[in-house]
Structures are given as structure tokens and as C-alpha cells.
A and B are shown apart, each in its own frame.
Chain A
Amino acid sequence: MPHTNPSEKQAQRLKYAFIVPALFLLIALNIFPLLYNIVLSFSNAELSGGDWQFIGGDHFTTVFSEPKFVTAIQTTSLFVFAAVSIELVLGFTLALTLNGVFRGKSILLTLLLLPMMLSPAVMGLYWNLILNGHYGILNQSLTFLHIGQPQWLTDPDLKLLSILIVDVWMWTPFMMLIALAGLQAIPSYLYEAAEIDRASRWTIFRRITLPLTTPLLFLAVLFRTTDALKQFDLVMAMTGPNDRATQTLSALLYQVMLRDYNIGLGSAYALVILVTVIALASMFIRYIDAIQRRQGRTAP
């Protein structure tokens, strides 16, 4: 900054005018509710309002002895792991096939991105039509191919798989987009040098492509993981929030707080979930920090 500027003092005041509005909104609508949530988790508050009292850590005893919570953790972990790994493999493979210049690429890319532009809540609803056991087009096609008639939406063993399929359909394009950004950032002289050395395709992939895209792929994985952990919209639309086979943590929160109206208990659940998410988020953030430092981008 030019320190010779005569209006330096005015500039110092002005910088807060640029920064403070955004910070204020974040604190008022993200951080304050979070703190309020901690208070509520030690109370017997109900959604209907009225007076509430502190009841100590009772809810936390309930939380950790509740089998539903354990099941929700298992369901969510399984879902996150399966969704993110499938999306990563598919998305990266897609990006590899799309890398390079060819005609119609930008149209193709936009079409491939379509699923992630759609509303997950409404798409979950619409997939009910496709997956329906009687009039769904998927099972009608399976009849035609003489394969069985899986009951995608009512068989407890298949419900979570159905939600997984829709999630993969919606979010693989996102992985693809990040992977593509990583691939395009690889300087072409590396490939040219490898070609001169007559390196095999596999060697080029293993020694150049993979290591140079890994940082961004990891970024994409962390991004999708934190998003998949919040999975709610598809569950709501496809099986409802209280289905034993598909109750993710967010669905459990919704059920306890907004259907059973037990705010105190729900807030205790929320707090436990938040601690987990914050741990993951700090991993994500440290990672971005590390990449930026490596690139020599210094803090302002």
C-alpha cells in the first residue's frame, strides 16, 4: 500500500467499511445460532415456545445411549464413503476422457453439468417416478431385459442404494469439474518432456498426471465429504426423515427437532454433529492453507 497517501487515516477507517458488513452477517446468522444451539442443548426447550430450564447434561447421556444415533452415524458414514469414492473415480475418469481440445466440448460440458444445477429436493421426488416398482421406467426396462424387479424404494436393503444412485448422478459432474481444472493446470512442457523421453502412457499418468492432480482431487473429496455429511434433501424426498434404513444424521435432526419437537435433545445431537463437522472442516482448511503456501501465495 502506498504509505505516502495523505488520506491514510481515512483509508484505515474505510477498510472496516469493506469488511465488517460481511463479517457481521456471518456472525449474526451462523455463529450466534451455533452458540445459542449450545445453550439449548442443556435445556428442556420445546419448539412450541414457553419457558425452559437448564437440565444439565441429561440430553448428552440420551444421545450416546440412543441406538438410533448409532445407526444414523453408521448410515451416514456408509453413505458418505460410498458416494464420495464412486463420484471420485467416475468424475476423475470422466475428466481424463474430456481433457484436451475437441469440437463441441463446451456444450458437452454444460450438458454433463446439468444434474448438479437441479434442485436435489425436487430431483429426489422425480426419481421416485423412475424407480417406482410398478410404473417406473427403470423396472419396465428391466422387465424387457428379463432381469428381476428390485423394489428400489420399499426394500430396506435397496433404499440407501437408490439414494446413493441419485447422489452419484447429481454430484459426479462436480468431481469432474474440479478434476478437469486440475488436469488443465498441468503445464504442457511436462508432457512434451516425457514424450521426448519415450515414457509410456502409464508412466506419464503415474508420474505426472496423478501426482499433479492429487491436491485438487483431495480438495474435491473434502468438499464432497462435508456436503454428503449434510445429506438431507434426497432422504426427505425418497424415503422420509424417519426411515430406519436411510436415516442420516440430518434426517435424524429433522425428525427429533421438527417432528418430535424435542429441541433440547435435537440441539444435543446437533452439537455432537457440529464437533465432528468442525474437525473435518479444519482439516479441509489446513489443506487449502498448505496448498496456497506451497504456491507461494502469502497471507495478505
Chain B
Amino acid sequence: MSILRWTFLTGYFLLALLPLSWLVLTSLKTRGDAISTTPKVLPSITMPQEDDTIRFPMTRAGYRRLAEPHVGTTQSFFSYLLNSIITGLVSTVAAVALGTACAYGFSRFRVAGARDWLFFILSTRFLPPLAVVVPVLMMYREFDLQNTHLGLILLYTSFNLSLAVWLMKGFIDEIPRAYEEAALVDGYSHLHVFWAIIVPRARTGMAVTGVFCLISAWNEYAFALTLNNAGAVTVPVYFAGLQGNIQGMPWPQIAAGVLLYVTPIVVFTFLVRKHLLRGVTFGTIKQ
């Protein structure tokens, strides 16, 4: 049993990580080596022999070239990265803030039809983006929100709200009410109670919720593709748009860019790893 267990785990682990290791190797290659017809698997520091088919010289060119605009595009990777950072961060902060406030409202006040409202909020999660993208596009034309950061931020915030409200409600429900009630009796307002008592105690929950919101906003593609052709193009749309480029796909740059792009997500996920399990269960289990 134990041998079977470790074989499966190791087997899956290696298979799942192979494509990622290849990504790392690709980011260190020249474009020629990245699409070589013989597999270049061993990085070497010195120039390999002419007849060496598996070694390739490591280069940082893939990373360096990210700073230059690629043929056919006007800006470098970093300006698209900036768009992603603005839309990703602002929409995550907004979704967590609005979600926490809304969850507090539902957790601590009597709201008529609360259950129905909560399930209405959850149901918006299932909306396929492409089924609403055209009406959104037409609305955005009216309000001049096409090609703007604000347009994407509003959409990502709204699409992450369902998750934020539900996760945060789970977390806030478990905060004991004793402190708040004492504070309310002492004459503090609900707003003050929310800020001084709830928010500090819900910090873990907010961090976990933030990670999930950030992952989906950071990697979103359908809306970013259809609502933008300039102005707020995010990294996924930029890279996907390189398909059919006259110079061919710049694989080392793409690999390098992907690695840089995923780093913040990995760091955040690692920081909240102990509480992640709470996040994926929609508050249906208590830990």
C-alpha cells in the first residue's frame, strides 16, 4: 500500500512538473534551440560542441528581450504587465472590500430574503463570460469604458464578488459576537465596529479570498480579449496575440514572461497555504 502510494504520488508529481521544468529550460534558450528538431535538454554554461545534439548554451536573452517591444507590437512586455498589475490588484482589493462589507451585512443584520439574495449572488458565478460579453461591449461603448483599466476592473470585481461574499461570510460567521455586542452597548457605531473589530479578525479570510480573486483576474482572457485592443491589454491577451506573428512565436520570451507573471501568485499562495483549504469549500466545512 505504502509503496503504491508513493509510486503514484511521485509519478504524478514528476509528470505534472515536466511541462513546468521544460518551461524553465525554454526560457534559457535561444529561439533556435527552443524549436530545435533534436531535443535540447541539458543546459550548459559553455558553448557545446558542434555535434552535441542535447546540450544548449544558456542565455538570458529571453528575459532581456522582454524589455523590448516584439515585432508587430508597439510596447514591451512590461507595459502589458503594468496593465495586468493595475487591473488585477485594484479589482482584487475592490472585490475583497465590497465582499467583506456585504458578507458582514448578511452575517450580522436581519435582511429580508437574505437566503435568496445570497444564492442570487452565488448564481452569478456560473455566468459564462462569452454569453454576456456583447451586451457588456455595447454598454461599455455608451460609457466610453472600452480599452480602459476601469472597464476591466469593474468587470473583474463583479465577477469575483460572488466568491468574495461567500468566502467572507463563512469567515465572518465564525467570529464570536461578544466583542461587537459589548462595543455596541458602549455606544460605538456599526461602522466603527466593522472597522475596529471585524476587519482585523477577518484578515486571514480576506487574504485567502484575495488570492482566489487575484488568480482569476490575473489570468482572465475572454473579457480582456474582447473589450480591449489597446489601452489596457493584459499579459494573457498580449501573449495570445503573438500567435501568427510574422517572426514566429518568440518562445524563450514567452517562457520567461510566464515565469515572471506567475511569481506573485505563487508567493501569495505560499503565504496563505495553511488556510487555502478553507477557501475552496465555499464555507461548507469548518476547520
* A residues apposed to B, CB below 8 Å: 1-2, 4-7, 10-12, 14-16, 18-19, 21-23, 25-26, 28-34, 36-37, 40, 47, 49, 90, 93-94, 96-98, 106, 108-123, 125-130, 132, 134-135, 137, 140-141, 169, 172-174, 177-178, 180-182, 184-185, 201, 215-216, 219-220, 226, 229-230, 232-233, 236-237, 249-250, 253-254, 257-258, 263, 266-267, 270-271, 273-274, 277-278, 280-282, 284-285, 288-289, 291-292, 295, 297, 299-300
Contact A97 B8 (CB under 8 A): yes
With a cutoff of 8 Å between Cβ atoms, the chain A residues found around residue B135 in the complex are 32-34, 36-37, 40, 267
Pairwise interchain contact A1-B109, C-beta atoms closer than 8 A: yes
> A110 contacts B221, CB within 8 Å?
no
Interface residue from A128, A270, A289 paired with B130 (Cβ < 8 Å): A270
B235-247 contact mask (Cβ, 8 Å, vs A): 1 or 0: 1110110110000
- Name the contact of A137 in the complex, choosing from B17, B39, B129 (C-beta under 8 A): B39
| Contact yes or no, B119 A289, CB < 8 A | yes
For A30, the closest partner residue in chain B by CB is: B124
Q: Which 5 A-B pairs have the closest CB atoms?
A: A18-B105, A33-B135, A281-B126, A22-B102, A119-B219
B269 near A117 (CB under 8 angstroms)?
yes
Residues of A near B122 (CB, < 8 A) are 285, 288
Asked whether A117 lies within 8 Å of B136 as measured between CB atoms, the reply is no
Residues in chain B within 8 A of chain A (CB atoms): 1, 5-6, 8-9, 12-13, 16-17, 19-20, 22-23, 26, 34-39, 98-99, 101-102, 104-111, 114-115, 117, 119-139, 141, 154-155, 157-159, 161-162, 165, 173, 181, 184-185, 187, 189-191, 194, 215, 218-219, 221-222, 225-226, 235-237, 239-240, 242-243, 249, 251, 254-255, 258, 261-262, 265-266, 269-270, 273-274, 276-278, 280-287
**B128→A250 contact, CB < 8 A:** yes
Most buried by A among B129, B190, B273: B190
Assess A266 versus B134: contact at CB under 8 Å? Given A22-B161, A113-B269, A250-B128: yes
Contact B128 A129 (CB under 8 A): no
Decide: A106 near B191, CB < 8 A? Known: A37-B131, A216-B285. no
A44 to chain B, nearest CB (A): 14
Chain A nearest CB from B106 CB (Å) reads 6
**Majority SS at the chain B contact face:** helix
Most chain A CB within a 10 A radius of its CB, from B34, B126, B159: B126
Q: Which residues of B contact A135 (CB under 8 A)?
A: 35-37
Verify A299–B35 contact, CB threshold 8 A. Answer: no
B139 near A33 with CB under 8 A, answer: yes
Knowing A19-B106, A32-B139 are in contact, say whether A122-B222 is a contact too (CB < 8 A). no
Asked whether, in the complex, the Cβ of A25 is within 8 Å of the Cβ of B154, the reply is: yes
CB distance from A250 to the nearest CB of B (A): 5
> A1 touching B110 by the CB < 8 A rule?
yes
Collect the chain B residues with CB atoms within 8 Å of residue A40's CB: 134-135
Known contacts A14-B190, A18-B102, A177-B280: A280-B131 contact under CB 8 Å? no
Can you list 29 A-B pairs, Cβ within 8 angstroms, ordered by A? A2-B184, A19-B117, A25-B98, A25-B161, A26-B120, A29-B158, A30-B124, A34-B132, A110-B270, A114-B17, A114-B266, A115-B20, A118-B262, A119-B218, A121-B221, A122-B235, A122-B261, A125-B239, A135-B37, A169-B19, A178-B281, A180-B277, A181-B278, A215-B284, A230-B130, A232-B130, A232-B222, A237-B240, A270-B134
Q: Could you say which of A121, A180, A288 has the most chain B C-beta atoms within 10 Å of its C-beta?
A: A121
Using A30-B124, A281-B123 as known contacts, say yes or no to A117 and B102 having CB atoms under 8 A apart: no
CB-CB under 8 A from B130, the residues of chain A are 230, 232, 250, 253-254, 257, 270
Question: Using a Cβ cutoff of 8 Å, how many contacts connect chains A and B?
Answer: 308
Closest residue on chain A to residue B34 by CB atoms: A129
**CB–CB B221/A134 < 8 A:** no
Residues on A with C-beta less than 8 A from B286 are 185, 295
- Which residues on the B side are within 8 Å of A31 (C-beta)? 124
